[in-house]
Amino acid sequence: MADTLLDDVGGLLREAADQAVLPLFRKLGDADVAEKAPGDLVTVADRRAEQFISAGLRRLRPNSVVVGEEAVAEDEGLLRHLRGTGEVWLVDPVDGTANFAAGRQPFALMAALLDGGEPVAAWVLDPLAGNLATARVGEGTYLDGRPVRTSEGVPAAGELRGVAMTRFLPPASRDRVRAGEQRIGELLPGQHCAGREYLDMLVGRQQFALFWRTLPWDHAPGALLIRAAGGVARRFDGSEYHPADEGHGLLVAVNEQVWTEVREALLDG
């Protein structure tokens, strides 16, 4: 029997978007939005979508564990499962909640599957653009059902295009990024939706993305998508990114040489 996991989870994310997220877009009331922490928003759509997705994933894999962003907000102990045995799901029910709450796009629904502590499959859905990216270790990355590879081309450093999320960077790192900006062709302001940044690398709109905060549900799906498509996702020091690792700083690029050029331009100073 064919393994339909990629399609099954992709379909589940589409259902969650259609039933729990999109009906509330630009229709949220004041009581539908709250702060989990200063500046960290959650909406009724986040909670409904996580419940919907989590229930569906448990039906698909009855012995699996679901670690969702909103569940972790209530119980940080759930993060211990990311280093555990068996199958563990990471779920971001609405990535880009601030955008969603303000009635802006983009936002995304994301999931990743870990098996024995290692990421093995990933899904990122932008429901408004209609883009669904999926990946499985050993099988490559698919965008809207078609195989996709990140660019193997290496523009000159002055022609590179990407995003550097500087808001949470330490002052010294922020200063290095700003000093190196002139060596990059175009440093984008960022879309406040990690899922869309990863999708834009897959479709060729940008060649890199630099982040400081690396919450696992924000980056485990996208990092696997990029790696399975031929790209690179590493910490600033060059160590491979793993969603269970604590720490900060992540540079993702469409290929090895772009990663090196961006690090030299923006981080080495």
Tell me, yes or no, whether 44 and 133 share the same domain.
yes
Tell me, yes or no, whether 122 and 17 share the same domain.
yes
Tell me, yes or no, whether 13 and 132 share the same domain.
yes
For the beta carbon of residue 230, count every other beta carbon within 10 angstroms: 16
Does the annotation list 237 as a binding residue? no
Please say which residue of 113, 148, 183 terminates a domain.
Answer: 148
Residue 230 is predicted with a pLDDT of 97
For the beta carbon of residue 235, count every other beta carbon within 10 angstroms: 16
pLDDT exceeds cutoff 50 at 40 = yes
Does the annotation list 7 as a binding residue? no
Q: How far is residue 108's CA from residue 128's CA, in Å, rounded to a whole number?
A: 9
Please say which residue of 108, 129, 148 terminates a domain.
Answer: 148
Tell me, yes or no, whether 93 and 167 share the same domain.
no
Q: How far is CA 18 from CA 121, 167, 199, in A?
A: 23, 32, 20
Tell me, yes or no, whether 15 and 122 share the same domain.
yes
Got the DSSP string for 2-27? ---HHHHHHHHHHHHIIIIIGGGTT-
pLDDT exceeds cutoff 80 at 157 = no
Tell me, yes or no, whether 122 and 198 share the same domain.
no
Tell me, yes or no, whether 196 and 98 share the same domain.
no
Tell me, yes or no, whether 218 and 128 share the same domain.
no
Please say which residue of 148, 178, 195 terminates a domain.
Answer: 148
Mean pLDDT of the chain: 95
Whichever domain contains 65, its CATH number is: 3.30.540.10
For residue 1, what pLDDT band results from cuts at 50, 70 and 90? very low
pLDDT per residue as tens digits for the range 209-229: 999 999 999 999 999 999 999
pLDDT exceeds cutoff 90 at 163 = yes
Q: Give this prediction's pTM.
A: 0.96
Whichever domain contains 256, its CATH number is: 3.40.190.80
Does the annotation list 69 as a binding residue? yes
Tell me, yes or no, whether 135 and 205 share the same domain.
no
Tell me, yes or no, whether 161 and 71 share the same domain.
no
pLDDT per residue as tens digits for the range 121-133: 999 999 999 999 9
Burial 112-134 (b: 16+ CB within 10 A, else e): bbbeeeebbbbbbbbbeeebbbb
Tell me, yes or no, whether 116 and 171 share the same domain.
no
Tell me, yes or no, whether 116 and 170 share the same domain.
no
For the beta carbon of residue 136, count every other beta carbon within 10 angstroms: 18
Residue 167 is predicted with a pLDDT of 85
The parent domain of residue 101 ranges over 5-148
Into how many domains does the chain fold? 2
